[in-house]
Amino acid sequence: MKLIYTSEDRLMVYHFKNLLEQKGIECVIKHDDLASIAGQVPFMATWPELWVADPDMENWAKQIVRQHQADAADPGEDDIWVCEHCGEKHAKQFTECWNCHKSFEA
């Protein structure tokens, strides 16, 4: 088994697990139940970890995780809308401007 990803954000660890499993990569999450001992051990030791079962899949799995992180960090122009009222930029998943609260109408 090979460690692929770890984060204090439990939901992201599970998101990446689901993403990898959709690609046919068998993986498991370790340390998911250690949050209760946070403060008694180094905090990073309590973070959930995503491991792939097949070491040969390590590079492919890491590439999928990195690509997903890059896509999320830098949305393309097709994934952005600009509020017609105040000019604020938003990702497509948001339907209301956070700045002026006007709705986006596609």
The Cα 7–Cα 29 span in angstroms is 11
Positive or negative, the Cα torsion across 22, 65, 8, 54? positive
Angle at CA 59, nearest 5°, toward 58 and 63?
120
CB 39 within 8 A of CB 28: no
Does residue 105 or residue 95 have the better pLDDT?
A: 95
103 — pLDDT class (breaks 50, 70, 90): confident
User: What is the structure's pLDDT at 34?
Assistant: 56
User: What is the structure's pLDDT at 28?
Assistant: 94
CB 4 within 8 A of CB 62: yes
User: What is the structure's pLDDT at 50?
Assistant: 95
User: What is the structure's pLDDT at 31?
Assistant: 83
The Cα 21–Cα 30 span in angstroms is 16
17 — pLDDT class (breaks 50, 70, 90): very high
Q: Is the whole-model pTM more than 0.75?
A: no
The strand pair at 49-52 and 27-30 is best described as antiparallel
User: What is the structure's pLDDT at 13?
Assistant: 92
The Cα 84–Cα 66 span in angstroms is 33
pLDDT digits (tens, 9 = 90+) for 40-84: 666 567 689 999 999 899 999 999 999 888 877 665 666 788 888
